[in-house]
Amino acid sequence: MKIDPKTQDKFFNVLKAVVIPRPIAFISSQSKEGGLNLAPFSFFNGVCYDPPTVSVAIARFAGKKPKDSLVNIEETGEFVINLVNRDMAEAMNQTAAEYPADVNEFELAGFTTAPSEIVKAPRVAESPVSLECKLIQVVPVNEGSQKECGLVLAEVVYCHIKDGLFDGRYVDMEGLNLIGRLGGHDYCELGDFFKMKLPVYKPKGE
């Protein structure tokens, strides 16, 4: 089967099912008036190591109410990415409906706020890792189209990780127990781990 994304209007279901598993950036942000907001985004990835930089793509579809997270990030220039473990999954999902801007999804889904160190927005106390972020820029993607996105590029300026999960060198992956987003309505827990060291190129004769 061959698929031309231009003529298959469900191609987003293919894209979401094959670019997997995606980490979930559970973003806490604040409006400039101080209203709290919490919502999940899985078009999320690392971009650079130093300074640590991440990207999150947030849709800005024509004719639709702008997503509060993107509005807040653009207005305040800061936010927190809270990573999601298995215990948080169902409550995280509750926050993803299109609630009016004045709804506080922390209260709605039963999450607890914990103070951040550098940014104003609080982090999610239940999350095993939270990354405080400062906005670098929002890159408009497919600008002017019906399905425009704002690609948020941000520097991680502070990290909170639950005690015992980082030994100063490596993170305890099993202890983190993060979940991933798949296609359709599917999510995954991390299954079996296996290790592979990066190969080192040795020129012949050395």
Which residues of the chain form contacts with ligand FMN (CB under 6 A)?
A: 24, 37, 39-43, 57-59, 67-69, 93, 96-98, 181
- Minimum CB distance to ligand FMN smaller for 38 or for 116: 38
C-alpha closest to that of 144 among 50, 31, 62: 62
List helix spans (H) across the chain.
11-18, 68-76, 89-94, 105-109, 173-176
Q: Closest approach of Cβ 172 to ligand FMN, in Å?
A: 24
- Give the side-chain half-sphere CA count within 13 A for 109: 28
DSSP per-residue letters across 106-124? HHHHT--EE--SSSSS-EE
Q: Closest approach of Cβ 202 to ligand FMN, in Å?
A: 41
- Minimum CB distance to ligand FMN smaller for 53 or for 94: 94
Q: Quote the Cα angle for 134-139-142, to 5°.
A: 150
- Minimum CB distance to ligand FMN smaller for 42 or for 76: 42
- Minimum CB distance to ligand FMN smaller for 35 or for 166: 35
Q: Closest approach of Cβ 98 to ligand FMN, in Å?
A: 5
Q: Closest approach of Cβ 179 to ligand FMN, in Å?
A: 9
- Minimum CB distance to ligand FMN smaller for 47 or for 97: 97
d(CA 47, CA 54): 5
- Minimum CB distance to ligand FMN smaller for 113 or for 172: 113
Q: Closest approach of Cβ 116 to ligand FMN, in Å?
A: 18
1 by DSSP, 3-state: which?
coil
Q: Which two tokens stand for residue 113?
A: 């706020």
Assess whether the previous peptide bond of 115 is cis (omega < 30° from 0): no
Q: Closest approach of Cβ 70 to ligand FMN, in Å?
A: 7
